[in-house]
Amino acid sequence: MGHKFDIEKVAKLDSPERREIQDPEKLLALLKMPGGTIAADIGCGTGYYTFPLAHRIGQGGKVYAVDISPEMLSILEQRMKERHITNIEPILSQENSIPLPDSCLDMVIIAMAFHEADQKEALLSEIRRVLKPQGKIINIDWEAKESPMGPPLEHRIPCQEAIRILSEAGFKDISQLEVYQYLYVIQAINPG
C-alpha cells in the first residue's frame, strides 16, 4: 500500500523549506505550454503546483486540481477565492477513477503523489485515458536517497523503476529533466 500524506502535516506543503528544494517555477519554466493548455494536477493537495501552473497557462487555459482528499480541496478552494483565480477547477477523485472525459487533457502533472498510489499501473491507465494523444505526463517524485524532507525512503520509487512503470503502461518518448537536487522529473508522451 502506498504511503499517503498526513493531512495533519498540511503546513509542510507550502513551507519555505519545500520551496527551496522544489520551486515549481523552476520546472514550469522548462515546460512548453501554449496558450489554451488544458492540464490536470493529479494529487494536487493544497495547490503547490496548481496555482503556478494556472498562472502560466493563463485565462485561455484551465487546470483541473484533482485530489482524493476533500480537506485538501477545501483549502485549495479557499485559496482560489482569496486570490480571485478562475481558471482552476477542483475535482474530488478516486485514486484510479478520475471524473474527466476521455482525451480531454494536454498535460498531467503528478507531483510527489506517484509513490502514494496503491495501484500505479491502474492510475497510469486512467491518466492515459484522460490525456489527449500526444499529451504529456510530468511525474515529479522523491529520489530514493536521503533528503531534508519527504516520505520515508522505503516508500520512495527509484527513478529507473518509475521509468519502467511508465514504459510498461504504454507511455513513449520518456525522458528526464534535470531540475531538482532531491527529486526526479520524468516527462513522457501518451501515444494515443
- Alpha carbons 67 and 112: distance in angstroms, whole number: 12
Q: With respect to residue 140, please indicate whether it lies within any of the assigned structural domains.
A: yes
Q: With respect to residue 178, please indicate whether it lies within any of the assigned structural domains.
A: yes
**Residue from 106, 102, 75, 108 nearest 90 by CA:** 75
Q: With respect to residue 2, please indicate whether it lies within any of the assigned structural domains.
A: no
Q: How many separate domains does the chain show?
A: 1
DSSP 48-109: TTHHHHHHHH-TTSEEEEEES-HHHHHHHHHHHHHHT--SEEEEE-BTTB--S-TT-EEEEE
Q: What is the pLDDT of residues 26-67, one digit of tens each?
A: 999 999 888 889 999 999 999 999 999 999 999 999 999 999
**What CATH number does the domain containing 89 carry?**
3.40.50.150
Q: List Cα–Cα distances, 72 to 90, 111, 114, 168, in angstroms.
A: 10, 15, 17, 31
The pTM for the full model equals 0.90
- Alpha carbons 33 and 159: distance in angstroms, whole number: 24
Q: With respect to residue 1, please indicate whether it lies within any of the assigned structural domains.
A: no
What pLDDT, on the 0 to 100 scale, is given for residue 16?
63
Residue 75 grid coordinates: 483549502
Q: List Cα–Cα distances, 126 to 26, 98, 132, 155, in angstroms.
A: 27, 7, 12, 22
Residue 141 · residue 183 · CB < 8 Å: yes
What is the average pLDDT value for the chain, to the nearest integer? 90
Q: What is the pLDDT of residues 87-136, one digit of tens each?
A: 999 999 998 899 999 999 999 999 999 998 989 999 999 999 999 999 99
- Alpha carbons 30 and 27: distance in angstroms, whole number: 5
Q: What is the pLDDT of residues 122-153, one digit of tens each?
A: 999 999 999 999 999 999 999 999 988 888 89
Range of the domain at 89: 7-189
Name 170's bridge partners. none
